[in-house]
Amino acid sequence: MEERYLTFALGKGRLANKTLELLEQIGITCEEMKDKSSRKLIFVNEELKLKFFLSKGPDVPTYVEYGAADIGVVGKDTIMEENRRVYEVLDLGFGKCRMCVCGPQSAKELLIHHERIRVATKYPLIARDYFYNKKHQTVDIIKLNGSVELGPIVGLSDVIVDIVETGSTLKENGLMVHEEICSLSARMIVNQVSMQMETDRIRSLILQLKELCGKGNEINAYR
């Protein structure tokens, strides 16, 4: 029987570039993907029977859940927010950052006293889960699509729930981290049916990447 293609969905941008570097180290290359001027959306490695496509990060878990991609690489933040039925199989160890509750100094008291505050975020599900289920604090969540730091600056919200990497965006805008929700990094996710049908190929890929990324990174989210 002819081998079927394994399809990868990669979140556009830094994560995709890092993933391609990693794959190259285990002998998986896709030359045509490196052409930055290309408007092509899907790339094929005929020899290895692999396909790759780039999509918006939040769409990666969707492609993987529906089986349009067998494998995806995306940030843990997106996996948590999208909450799709996929197996999270490997922490790739790059794209490390933290999901935090941030705001001006004055927000500290509001957080300590569990006041009913306004929270601006690109991640309403993560924010809701944190405040309602973990902190047991009733808050009003306001969904934004980017530059969330503006929230407290222009008086839209008291705090934000957002990704902090170097902390410089906060610093430059007079904001600080008040509470840490969780650590984040790039993860590999797999379609649940693909994991059963293509166990050998996918397991071998995971093992090779695991060797590269360091031990102990495999997440036992599947049997």
Residues that bind ligand PRP (CB under 6 A): 122, 146-149, 162-169
Residues 77 and 182: their CA atoms lie apart, in Å, by 9
51/122 with CB nearer ligand PRP: 122
Radius of gyration of the chain from Cα atoms?
19
Least separation, in Å, of the C-beta of 97 and ligand PRP? 7
H or E stretch covering 64: helix 60-65
CA dihedral of 210, 89, 73, 196, whole degrees rounded to 10: 110
166/220 with CB nearer ligand PRP: 166
182/207 with CB nearer ligand PRP: 182
**b vs e for 181-195, b when ≥16 Cβ sit within 10 Å of the residue's Cβ?**
beebbbbbbbbeebb
37/166 with CB nearer ligand PRP: 166
Residues 49 and 40: their CA atoms lie apart, in Å, by 18
Least separation, in Å, of the C-beta of 13 and ligand PRP? 8
With CB atoms as reference, the residue minimizing the distance to ligand PRP is 146
Least separation, in Å, of the C-beta of 75 and ligand PRP? 10
Task: Return the structure tokens found at 130.
Answer: 């944190």
162/198 with CB nearer ligand PRP: 162
Least separation, in Å, of the C-beta of 108 and ligand PRP? 19
Least separation, in Å, of the C-beta of 147 and ligand PRP? 5
